[in-house]
Structure 1
Amino acid sequence: MFSFPDNSDMFTRRCVWVNGPVIVGAGPSGLAVAAGLKDGGVPFVLLDRADCIASLWQKRTYDRLKLHLPKQFCQLPNFPFPEHYPEYPTKKQFIDYLESYAKHFNIKPRFNETVESAKYDESGSLWRVKTVSVEGAEVEYMCQWLVVATGENAERLVPEIEGLKEFGGEVIHACDYKSGESLRGKKVLVVGCGNSGMEISLDLCDHDAKPSMVVRSSVHILPREMFGKSTFELAMVMLRWLPLWFVDKILLVLAWMILGNIEKLGLKRPSVGPLELKNTRGKTPVLDIGALAKIRSREIQLVPGIKRFSCGAAEFVNGEKLEFDSVVLATGYCSNVPFWLQEIEFFSKNGFPKEPFPNGWKGKAGLYAVGFTRRGISGASADALKIAQDISNAWKECDMKKRKLNVPTHRRCISTF
């Protein structure tokens, strides 16, 4: 990597040439690509706006969180989980694993650098990635390859609900929820019935709070395990031999046998099967770890969609009005790619690659995406391996051409700032 001298009298932004790719995002996806590049001897710069790796896991998840899938489906390439880890590692264990991964491959991200913009400069056939640090320092990285690893869950989604600002009580997003300890005895409205909404409602019950959960639409709920086997693992085995639609039918029959008819509880199932829904719309089925029992016992109350909020209360679409002390918005996350990447061919307006898995990992002009498969860490790991190999091949070919032409390993560039 070649950097110009930091001369504040001459420049307001440093200009840095990276003899390899720039990776944006130091979560599991970015770390996996970085490890693959290390293995291939390719230099790179790994950027992250936070002050740690995997900031989503470290700073925006609740305390009781565990991996929803068995550990063998959540490990990064070439680095298995420790044998003594349980089948479903805790949040702390997963963070420890990621930190060990970074240390093992000697990955050193540049923290506290927020990417403000990235665009391809056709005249120079390179990417210009502009960042600003927490201290206000600005840097422009120039590179031939750009890896977008900010993932599916970069920004919280906060719905616009009439009267929410007038509610008056505590309103937090799920990313700020840690535990129900401070909410003991309080009436809490949990908006959202996905995995986060279900687990937060369960956690509130365990801390003697009184949760009500908004169920606005249909939802698939499956047991986390079936007959001693992970439901996910069982589905993956069946998909080797059976079509997806048939596996969906088998899963739903088994779920009915184990969980009973959940529609009697007010939980309507979608008309599309759980695997097909995940593949086509990215909507993950809920893997039950105890919330359903609390719903049956009415310790978790189910309420319909919200019509509006008022001071200390919520009115629902069925006309009912209930009082609450706090609101937790388990309303999900979204990609932040459209806010900083100036590119319209590869990424769609929602911040996901236009091509679905397994073809959404590579764009044009050295652009790559990892962590957007809607298939969790296993999908990200598969894409990371392909990206690292593809860049390694291109980098070696480029390096050989430079050696033949006797070109220095760095490229000089002129700053115009």
Structure 2
Amino acid sequence: MTMENLFRLVDQDQDFFQRKWTLVNGPVIVGAGPSGLATAACLKEQGVPFVVLERADCIASLWQKRTYDRLKLHLPKQFCQLPKLPFPEDFPEYPTKRQFIDYLESYAKHFDINAKFNECVQSARYDETSGFWRVKTIVTSDSNKTEFEYVCRSLVVATGENAECVLPDIEGLPEFGGEVIHACDYKSGEKFKGQKVLVVGCGNSGMEVSLDLCNHNASPSMVVRSSVHVLPREIFGKSTFELAVLMMKWLPLWLVDKLMLILAWLVLGNIEKYGLKRPSTGPVELKNTKGKTPVLDIGALEKIRSGDINVVPGIKRFSRGQVELVNGEKLDIDSVVLATGYRSNVPSWLQEGEFFSKNGYPKASFPHGWKGKAGLYAAGFTRRGLSGASSDAMRIAQDIAQVFKDETKQLRMRTVARHRRCISLSQF
């Protein structure tokens, strides 16, 4: 970083020194979830300083505050570990929510990652005149809120694909009268014991919430509006995901999809007779092209077969204590759980339109969506889970480290040159 660039910044913003600010000799990482932690750890290994900003009061706030109690990783732990530090050997193949949080906390401690908590980014924009990113935040402490600004040469967006919950606009929902929550606020089916609960959504969250409700003696009806791929979590004792990864090394994608569906049929049978229509596109291709993750069944399908989970079509409208479906059927219900997914929040704060699209994802497809221009990076937007985030983190850290080392070398050379000139002048 040159002082000349900083002077340019001050020249065009006369109020700059009236605000609280700091110059970061390295990147600012927005988000202290798995993607942000992985990037920070890789930068630490490269000797690059950084600042991690987190709007919540803890790391991995999505996992700590917005997940249900029974949650486990859907994939084997070797596909979910972050760079440079594997899971403890005594962890099970599918770690629990608590175990994964413990792993992330030990990861942050191991790499001495000290995020700045309760610091919500309001805006981030690149100043072309100075060549700096300007990241403005609001720091919340007790009852006080303070504006702060970070000035840096590179910015890593690590807020992820699930920063905000999606709340659908359904006719009559405000007049329903019963409890309505998003899956991010669902913890356990215990409070719904004996209730008729409508679960809106049939992804992994919708399936698991419905299963959990059954296990707590509630009566869930699950809305299945569109087609969905349901695969067994394991096939003949082997992780389905691991099997797909193995086959992708040797076989074309279309054949992998065909084999996966045949194996799923052998294990699960024909799921379409239960109201679960499969998409025309195969599960692996759909994941790669649309980012739509197949459901990995851990017991919900058996409850659907037995009738404990009632599969229903789309919703037409809500009324007081009731829902009308698109087929004309009306159901009396007590509560609603919206398992309607999540989205990126990047458009709400990042003032940039070339690298990120309007929906908050990098425009470039995998594996090219990790690097933009002017020192802008994205970690954890691959739609490939934790392994994709780890891959991003390693690429980003290597790229930033190279720039950082080159700039440090140039600065050292200029300093030596000035020192030599001073010595030469002192001899006169």
Q: Indicate whether 1:179 and 2:188 are aligned.
A: yes
- 2:279 equivalent in structure 1: 270
Per-residue displacement from partner, 1:346-389 (whole Å, max 9, x unpaired)?
A: 00011000001100000000000000000000001011000001
Separation in structure 2 between the aligned mates of residue 299 and residue 12 of structure 1, nearest angstrom: 63
Runs of 4+ residues deviating >2 angstroms = 9-13
How far did 1:94 drift?
A: 0.1
How far did 1:186 drift?
A: 0.3
Separation in structure 2 between the aligned mates of residue 39 and residue 190 of structure 1, nearest angstrom: 45
Could you tell me which of 347, 356, 375 is aligned with 1:366? Answer: 375
How far did 1:205 drift?
A: 0.2
How far did 1:256 drift?
A: 0.4
- 2:59 equivalent in structure 1: 53
Q: Indicate whether 1:338 and 2:347 are aligned.
A: yes
How far did 1:133 drift?
A: 1.1
Partner AA of 1:17 in structure 2: L
Q: Indicate whether 1:106 and 2:112 are aligned.
A: yes
Separation in structure 2 between the aligned mates of residue 207 and residue 148 of structure 1, nearest angstrom: 39
| 1:211-250 mapped onto 2 (5 Å cutoff) | 211-250=220-259
Q: Indicate whether 1:256 and 2:265 are aligned.
A: yes
Separation in structure 2 between the aligned mates of residue 389 and residue 33 of structure 1, nearest angstrom: 10
Q: Indicate whether 1:15 and 2:21 are aligned.
A: yes
How far did 1:325 drift?
A: 0.5
Contact 1:13 1:137 in 2 (8 A): no
SS of residue in 2 equivalent to 1:406: helix
Please give the TM-score of this superposition, normalised by the length of structure 1. 0.95
Separation in structure 2 between the aligned mates of residue 332 and residue 227 of structure 1, nearest angstrom: 30
Separation in structure 1 between the aligned mates of residue 16 and residue 281 of structure 2, nearest angstrom: 61
Superposed CA RMSD in Å reads 1.5
How far did 1:10 drift?
A: 9.8
Which structure shows the higher helix fraction? 2
Q: Indicate whether 1:142 and 2:169 are aligned.
A: no
Q: Indicate whether 1:375 and 2:381 are aligned.
A: no
| 1:298-309 mapped onto 2 (5 Å cutoff) | 298-309=307-318
SS of residue in 2 equivalent to 1:237: helix
| 1:16-415 mapped onto 2 (5 Å cutoff) | 16-134=22-140, 135-406=144-415
How far did 1:13 drift?
A: 2.6
Alpha carbons of structure 1 residues 12 and 199: separation in structure 2 relative to 1, 3 Å? farther
Separation in structure 2 between the aligned mates of residue 183 and residue 264 of structure 1, nearest angstrom: 28
Separation in structure 2 between the aligned mates of residue 251 and residue 105 of structure 1, nearest angstrom: 39
How far did 1:404 drift?
A: 1.4
How far did 1:11 drift?
A: 6.0
Separation in structure 2 between the aligned mates of residue 406 and residue 308 of structure 1, nearest angstrom: 71
Separation in structure 1 between the aligned mates of residue 260 and residue 249 of structure 2, nearest angstrom: 15
Separation in structure 1 between the aligned mates of residue 147 and residue 261 of structure 2, nearest angstrom: 53
SS of residue in 2 equivalent to 1:208: coil
Separation in structure 2 between the aligned mates of residue 21 and residue 98 of structure 1, nearest angstrom: 21
How far did 1:12 drift?
A: 5.6
Contact 1:76 1:381 in 2 (8 A): yes
SS of residue in 2 equivalent to 1:287: strand
Separation in structure 2 between the aligned mates of residue 208 and residue 12 of structure 1, nearest angstrom: 60
- 2:9 equivalent in structure 1: none
Separation in structure 1 between the aligned mates of residue 281 and residue 297 of structure 2, nearest angstrom: 19
How far did 1:55 drift?
A: 0.2
- 1:411 equivalent in structure 2: none
Please give the TM-score of this superposition, normalised by the length of structure 2. 0.92
SS of residue in 1 equivalent to 2:41: helix
SS of residue in 2 equivalent to 1:88: coil
- 1:5 equivalent in structure 2: none
Larger Rg: 2
Separation in structure 1 between the aligned mates of residue 99 and residue 128 of structure 2, nearest angstrom: 44
Alpha carbons of structure 1 residues 125 and 10: separation in structure 2 relative to 1, 3 Å? closer
Partner AA of 1:114 in structure 2: C
Per-residue displacement from partner, 1:225-268 (whole Å, max 9, x unpaired)?
A: 00110000000000000011100000000000110000111110
Separation in structure 2 between the aligned mates of residue 280 and residue 396 of structure 1, nearest angstrom: 36
